[in-house]
Amino acid sequence: MARPLSGKSQPGKGGRQPVLTLGAIDDAWFGHRDNWPQAAHRLIDRGWISPDDHHRILLLEAFGRLIHNNDRHFGNLAFFWQPGAENPQLKLAPVYDMLPMALAPAANGMLPQSSPEPPSPTAALLPVWDQALQLAEQFRSRINEDDRISEGFKSLIDPA
């Protein structure tokens, strides 16, 4: 683990705080790299994450599906952790790279011609699906209100 250049690390007080990706955690303890909901179930079953973080991971998975983020890999979910504990104590870090990657331009700069089919919830995501639908609608509304975003992309994110 990297050491601060000066002074002691003070997590939460402007100091450094250790962060592990879901990939690093899963590789070290489980070796599955299947999907976020199944990984979240493994973590909560071991008591390594809180019920709130378990809920957030499921919500992030559902939201990602609804906004066409097909890049939800184990490097895109991370946790703060407390080193030295017998069992890892993990706290979900702020999400990053949550974008509609299925709608990204191709290497030649061309946008996809149509949106992917709307996803259906899996059994694991049913408890959070309605909340995710509301968040995805807010996301689409913000895109539609933003003058910096092209009409071509708006038609992909919110097909009428």
CATH code of the domain containing 109: 1.10.1070.20
Chain-centre distance for alpha carbon 33? 14
Residue 146 is among the residues annotated as catalytic for this protein: no
C-alpha 61/C-alpha 134 separation (Å) is 14
End-to-end CA distance of the chain: 50
- Give the per-residue pLDDT at 89: 86
C-alpha 81/C-alpha 91 separation (Å) is 6
* Catalytic annotation, pick one of 26, 27, 45, 71: 71
The total number of structural domains in the chain stands at: 1
Sole residue written with tokens 């007080």: 13
Residue 9 lies in a domain: no
Residue 51 lies in a domain: yes
- pTM for this predicted structure: 0.85
Q: Could you read off the pLDDT of 145-160 as tens digits, one per residue? A: 999 998 888 888 866 5
- Apex CA 157: angle with CA 151 and CA 160, to 5°? 80
- Give the per-residue pLDDT at 72: 94
| Residues of the chain predicted below pLDDT 50 | 1-9
Residue 8 lies in a domain: no
